[in-house]
Amino acid sequence: MRMTENGEDSSPSQPVGGVLPGGAPGGKDPGGVSGDNRPVNPTTEDNKTTKLLNNTMKFPQDVRDQSSPYQPRPPLLPKPPALSKGGNRGLVEENVRSRRLKNSQESLTDPAETGSSTESLKEDSTVTGVFTLSGAATLRNGQGSVVGPQSAPSGSPVFRARGQSLSEYERGPHDHHSDPAEQRVRSSKVRLSPLQPSGPFPALEQSLASASLRTANRIDRDCVDYGIVPGRAGPERLQLHRNLSDSRLLDNMVSDNISVNSMKSTFSVLNPIRPRDVRNRSFLEGSVLGSGALLGAEELDRYFPERRVGIYIATWNMQGEKGLPNNLDDLLLPADSEFAQDFYIIGVQEGCPDRREWEIRLQETLGPYYVMLYAASHGVLYLTVFVRRDLIWFCSEVEHATVTTRIMSQIKTKGAVGIGFTFFGTSFLFITSHFTSGDSKVYERILDYNKIIEALALPNGLPDTNPYRSTSSDVTTRFDEVFWFGDFNFRLSKDRVGVEAILNQNPGVDMGPLLHHDQLSKEMKDGSIFKGFQEAPIQFLPTYKYDVGCDMYDTTSKQRTPSYTDRILFRNRQVDDIKVIKYTSCSTIKTSDHRPVIAMFQVKLRPGRDNIPLGAGQFDRSLYLEGIRRRITRELKKREAMKNQGSSTICSIS
């Protein structure tokens, strides 16, 4: 057979019904009929049509010995009319499916297969259109000679796309011992063009339900560290050890970008340290701008991108009761709060005799996430500061001072205790105090306030962050952010009957009619006390004086007037540094004649300098361990009680 320059057969043209000779080895077709011009019957005509399809549908692996650089492209031809009926139809379709299955398996092993399913659809539809339009020209050209269309090399994704789009039926098992000629005939099955999308496909988004996450959930390397073999330990114990090491879990998730990005705050928060800085820098010279300090802008922005820290303050007059509430969760961790805060400052007046027991109970409630930064006392006045343990490195040394407001300094039932420290570059002062009691002793309470601001000797070694705005006669001017809270003992200047009438008329949160008679609000407005301080709007009931264990106001013979004695005030050097989040009372704790008052704030932070004496991460370690031990013991007892309750046979259903 001679080929022209265009790949056409130069042999004499065949009649319309003719076929190419040599369809099978030895010049015979699969049916054993010779490839000459002898008359043929309809059955022979079918075989010759099959031979035509065999020569036309040769795949690259079938024509490797041809010298032409172009390879024949398999067309999508309409099914020959002679093959649409008769016994060979099922055999032809079966061979087509086997041929496509073989080609699809070869394409799956192709290492160059990188196209997406969308690209495969586009390529498939494009090539299908070409095959359909050129089907007639494939059988014969204008002169009557048969011409095969030129196709891409054997690595073309066209064939791979076709193989990948097989139906489940076409992927089924087939007989591999069929005649090779019949397998070539199978390619004549009509393939419909895929539907084209009306618009571009949406961009593929990464999903958290990725293979790497599924793998991470299956692999638990923590079991190796603790000698736990999966299948031999209970699910609760495995889950406990699985949660002990977040870094191990992250090792399995590093290939998932979404997972890593969502954990940036805990996975990579440290800057690289250059050896040159470690060699040459003394860290004793204060940086003027604070940009390169240890507590500078870079470190601050890493932990607090918005430069605001959460402060939780609670004040409570415990009435000197020895018995503490069974649960302090409502005091420190109210259920209506979305997040816990960064600092917890608790001030107590008339505290319980055992101060250490009180601090342990606080640590037990806050759990292992918090450590006690500092605690100070003045008689029965207790002030405790807890901080998140991962923020303790940014706290300076802590200082405290006390002041008594009694005539004799040995009597420490009334007075104040203050704690001051610097966090990054912002200085904080927390004061809890107990002023003189009595309905009409407003002047004495003002004297208590003036004595405290003059005698509270703070700061001592801490640098003043803004000395130009400080005065020696007022301790509250020497710190950036000041919080003063406690039992101020200011009352409502109205009789008991009138106060109860207002409460009955305003059962909601509008406390304006009551606050109109509040002594503290009046004195602050006149500027005689708490100069420069603010208070959030009060939208809770008076916190004094209740009968212990109930919600009834004083029913004793004294019939004390309900009042807002417990308050939380704040002052800042810069406007809008302190933002109030919540200001309310805790009505569920009823072991005292006072209700606790709590407040949440968001406080603005500023970068620090190297002249701030760091606290070096100091905290009360023994208190931390004892509080965690009690917390674990309490949890184990609770589980044991639930287990015993579940296995009780007193009332069982069979």
List, for residues 535-587, the tens digit of each pLDDT value: 999 999 999 999 999 999 999 998 999 999 999 999 999 999 999 999 999 99
- Quote the pLDDT of residue 296: 86
The C-alpha atoms of residue 214 and residue 51 are separated, in whole angstroms, by 53
Q: Are strands 308-317 and 150-151 parallel, antiparallel or unpaired?
A: unpaired
- Quote the pLDDT of residue 152: 43
The C-alpha atoms of residue 384 and residue 369 are separated, in whole angstroms, by 16
- Quote the pLDDT of residue 264: 42
Which residues of the chain fall below pLDDT 50?
1-40, 42-43, 52-53, 56, 58-70, 82-86, 102, 104-172, 174-178, 185, 208-268, 652, 654
- Reference 15, options 48, 55, 43; nearest CA is 48
- Find out whether the peptide bond into 545 is cis, omega within 30 degrees of 0: yes
- Quote the pLDDT of residue 198: 74
- Quote the pLDDT of residue 282: 65
- The string of DSSP codes covering 189-239 is S--PPPPPPSSPPPPPPP-SS-HHHHHHHH--THHHHTTPPTTTS-HHHHH
Cβ atoms 49, 82 nearer than 8 A: yes
Assigned CATH for 297-631: 3.60.10.10
Kind and range of the H or E element at 643?
Answer: helix 621-646
- Quote the pLDDT of residue 224: 44
Query: Quick one: how far is CA 598 from the chain centroid?
Result: 28
- The token pair at 203 is 């961009």
- The token pair at 79 is 């099914």
- Quote the pLDDT of residue 597: 98
Query: Quick one: how far is CA 15 from the chain centroid?
Result: 75
Kind and range of the H or E element at 580?
Answer: strand 578-585
H-type alpha helices, 333-489: 355-366, 442-455
- The token pair at 577 is 């540094």
- Quote the pLDDT of residue 48: 53
- Quote the pLDDT of residue 6: 46
- Quote the pLDDT of residue 96: 53
The pLDDT tens digits of the residues spanning 23-50 come to 444 444 444 444 444 444 544 555 555 5
- Indicate the SS3 state at residue 575: coil
Nearby residues of 243 by Cβ (< 8 Å), 6 or more positions away: none
- Quote the pLDDT of residue 563: 96
Percentage with pLDDT > 70 across the chain: 56
